[in-house]
A and B are shown apart, each in its own frame.
Chain A
Amino acid sequence: MDSKRTSEVLSVPTPQPPESAAEVPLEIHDLTVSYHKKPVLWGIDVVVPPGKLIGIVGPNGAGKSTLIKAAMGMLPVSSGWVKAFGKPVKESLTRIGYVPQRESVDWDFPVSVMDVVMMGRYGHLGLLRRPSRHDRQVVLECLDKVKMLPYANRQISNLSGGQQQRVFLARALAQESDLYFMDEPFAGVDAATEAAIVTLLHNLRDKGKTILVVHHDLPSARQYFDMLLLLNMRVVAFGETKTVFNYDLLQATYGGRLTILSEVADAVHARESGNGR
C-alpha cells in the first residue's frame, strides 16, 4: 500500500479517501502565511507520503522555516489548513517531533545535556507528572544513538556546535514521534556530525518515520533526501529527488540569484557526471 501511494505523490493536492487519510502523515492545503500583511507563504498545497526523508530547499527568505512552523500550527495562518495523520495538526502534536534552529535557544541556560533531552519526553508526561525511570532510560538511549552519552551531565554551554546539534537530535528522538520537522540540522556542524546525522535520519526513515528537513546546501540535498520540496514563497515543485533536481526547476526556485545559479549549475553538472554511480 505504501509503495502505491509513493508512486502517485506529486505536488497537486488530490482528495484523499477518508479511510486511508489516517495514513497520510502531513497534508497541507492552500496554506497562506503573512507577516505584517505581506505574504511569506502563498497557497501551499502538499501531501506528504509516509516513510520519506524530505528536504525543503529554496533561497533565503523563501519561507522554509515559516513553512514548518506554520505546518505545526505555531504561527497564525491567513488561510488554509494542515492535517497530520488525518487530524488537525494540534490534535496530532504528540506524534510530531521538532528540531528548531540551533541558534534559537540560549546555550548558556543553566541545564545539563540530560535535562535538554528530557524536554523531549514532556509531551508524553502531561501536566504535573515527573519523568519516570522509563523516561530516563529513553533519554539515555537517545543520547547513546547520537554518541553523546558521555556528555549527559555536561552543562550545555560547554558543547561545540556539532555536539549541540546532536543534543537537539537526541531530544527529537526522545519525542518518539512519527513525523519530524527539522530546521537546518546541518547548519554549522562538523563533517563527522553531518555524516552521523544523515545516518540517523536514514535509520528513522527506514523505520517508517516521515522527516521534513529544511536544508541550505544544494549539492548535498541531492544526496541526502528521497524527495525535495522546492520552495520560494510557493511550492515550485515537490517530488522524488531524481525527478525535481533539474536545472529548470532549480532556476525557477532560485530565480535570478546569480551566485546560487552557478551553484545550481555546478550541482547539476556534478549530478550528470556522477550518473554512473
Chain B
Amino acid sequence: MTQLIPAFDFHQVIVAPWSQDAAGTFPIVLMGFLVGAACGLVGTFLILRRMALVGDAISHSVLPGIAIAFLLTNSRGTLPMFIGALAAGIVTTLLIEIIHRKTRVKQDAAIGIAFTSLFAVGVILISLYASKIDLDQECVLYGEIGFIGLEEGITLGGINFSPQLIRMASVTLVVAALILIFYKELLVSSFDPALAFSVGINASVVHYSLMCVLSAVVVSAFESVGAILVIAMLILPGATGSLLSQRLPRVMGLAVLHAAMSSVMGLHLATWLDCSIAASMVVMGAFLFAFAWIFSPSQGIIQRFIRSKPKLDEPPADLPAAEKSAVG
C-alpha cells in the first residue's frame, strides 16, 4: 500500500533542512524570499492600480522576448535575457494600450489578446528551435528553484551564493530602492492620476517605468519560479498585506514578511511532500492569505462576525447607499 501523504517526520521536515542540509536549504529559501519580496513590492502597486492582470500578461509575454534574445545572441547571458524581457514587457504594455484605445475592445479583453498571442509566439519559437535553445518548456512555466544555488559563486560562511542568487538580490535591492525614492510619485499616480498631472507628475511616465521594473523583476524571477507561479508571487504578498493594514508602507512591509514566511514554510512543505519547491512556496503563500482573510483584525471573517452582532440595534446598513442614489 502506498501512502497518499508521506508521514510527517519532524526531524526530517523541520530540523534537517537547517542542520545537515543548511548549505543547500539556505540559498533556496533566500531565493524564494528575494523573488517574493521583489514581486510583492511591485505587485502591491499593481493591485492598487487594478493592474494585476497586466502582471499576468507581462509574465507570459516575457517568454518570446527571452526566446528571441536567445536566438539573436545565442547566449543565456544576463544582459540579452534582460533586454529581451524588458522589450517584450514594453511591447505588451503598448499593445494592450493600442488595442484598448484604437478599437472598441475593453482593456481586460485587450490584455487577454496581447499576452496570449505573444506567449504563443514564444511557445512556437521554443518548440521550433528546441534543439538550439536550452530552455525547456516545463522549466519556463514552473521554474526550478532547486537548481538555483548549484552554480559556483561567492562562498560566505560555508554557503555558496550563486550568480543567480546575487543577481536576484541586486534586483530586489534596486526595486526596494526605486520604490523608496519614487514613493510619492507612485503613490499619487496610483491614487489619483488627475491630481498627479496637476502637481506636475507625468502619470504615464510612472506607468511605463513601473512596467519596465515589472518586466525586469519577472525575468529575474523566471528561472526560479517560472512564468505561471510568478503571478502568484506578484499578487499574494500585496493582497495579504492589504487585508491586514490600511497604510501603504505597512502593506508593503507585510508583503515582504509574507514573502519570507511563504518561502520558509514552502521549503518545509516541499521537503515533507518531496514535491516542487516553488509550487509549495506559492501554496503556503495562499495559505497565509487565507489565514489573513480569516483572522485579520480589521476585515477578517471572524472579526466581522463578532462585530456584526451588536450592529443589529443600529440603523440598517443601506442608509448611505440610499443617500447616494438620491443624489445621483
Pair B194/A111 contact, Cβ less than 8 Å: no
Chain B minimum-CB-distance residue to A121: B199
Pair B194/A188 contact, Cβ less than 8 Å: no
Given the interface contacts A110-B251, A111-B247, does A122 sit within 8 Å of B194 by beta carbon?
no
Pair B192/A100 contact, Cβ less than 8 Å: yes
Contact of A116 among B191, B246, B247 (CB under 8 A): B191
Give, as a whole number of angstroms, the nearest-CB distance from A170 to chain B: 13
Total of A-B residue pairs, C-beta within 8 Å:
86
Chain A minimum-CB-distance residue to B199: A123
Which residues B311-328 have CB closer than 8 A to chain A?
320, 323-324, 327-328
Contact of B191 among A69, A105, A161 (CB under 8 A): A105
Pair A74/B197 contact, Cβ less than 8 Å: yes
> Does B187 lie at the interface of the complex (its beta carbon under 8 Å from any beta carbon of A)?
yes
Q: Mark B183-210, 1 if CB is under 8 A from A, else 0.
A: 0110110111011111111000000000
Pair A120/B199 contact, Cβ less than 8 Å: yes
Closest 10 CB pairs of A and B: A123-B199, A98-B198, A188-B327, A155-B246, A122-B199, A100-B194, A110-B246, A119-B188, A110-B248, A105-B192
Given the interface contacts A111-B187, A122-B184, A188-B327, does A97 sit within 8 Å of B198 by beta carbon?
yes
Give, as a whole number of angstroms, the nearest-CB distance from A160 to chain B: 7
Contact of B48 among A94, A109, A115, A157 (CB under 8 A): A109
Chain A minimum-CB-distance residue to B250: A110
> Does A192 lie at the interface of the complex (its beta carbon under 8 Å from any beta carbon of B)?
no
Given the interface contacts A109-B48, A110-B245, A111-B248, does A69 sit within 8 Å of B194 by beta carbon?
yes
> Does B240 lie at the interface of the complex (its beta carbon under 8 Å from any beta carbon of A)?
no
Other A-B pairs, 5, CB within 8 Å; known A97-B198, A104-B194, A110-B251: A93-B200, A105-B191, A110-B248, A119-B199, A161-B323
> Does B92 lie at the interface of the complex (its beta carbon under 8 Å from any beta carbon of A)?
no
Give the most central of B50, B195, B201, B327: most A CB within 10 Å. B195
A109 to B188, CA, bound (A): 11
Given the interface contacts A110-B251, A128-B181, does A72 sit within 8 Å of B198 by beta carbon?
yes
For A175, the chain B residues whose CB sits under 8 A away are 198-199
Give 20 CB contacts A-B under 8 Å. A74-B197, A100-B192, A100-B195, A109-B48, A110-B48, A110-B248, A111-B191, A119-B184, A119-B188, A119-B191, A122-B201, A123-B199, A127-B185, A128-B181, A157-B246, A161-B323, A171-B195, A188-B323, A188-B324, A188-B328
For A187, the chain B residues whose CB sits under 8 A away are 327
Interface footprint category on A: 35 or more
> Does B242 lie at the interface of the complex (its beta carbon under 8 Å from any beta carbon of A)?
yes
Which residues B80-136 have CB closer than 8 A to chain A?
none
Give, as a whole number of angstroms, the nearest-CB distance from A177 to chain B: 9
Pair B187/A93 contact, Cβ less than 8 Å: no
A119 to B187, CA, bound (A): 9
Given the interface contacts A115-B187, A123-B200, A188-B324, does A74 sit within 8 Å of B194 by beta carbon?
yes
A161 to B320, CA, bound (A): 9
Which residues A71-109 have CB closer than 8 A to chain B?
72-74, 93-94, 96-98, 100, 104-106, 109
Chain A minimum-CB-distance residue to B245: A110
Pair B191/A94 contact, Cβ less than 8 Å: no
> Does A125 lie at the interface of the complex (its beta carbon under 8 Å from any beta carbon of B)?
yes
> Does A34 lie at the interface of the complex (its beta carbon under 8 Å from any beta carbon of B)?
no
A175 to B199, CA, bound (A): 8
Pair A109/B191 contact, Cβ less than 8 Å: yes
A130 to B201, CA, bound (A): 15
Pair A93/B247 contact, Cβ less than 8 Å: no
A127 to B200, CA, bound (A): 10
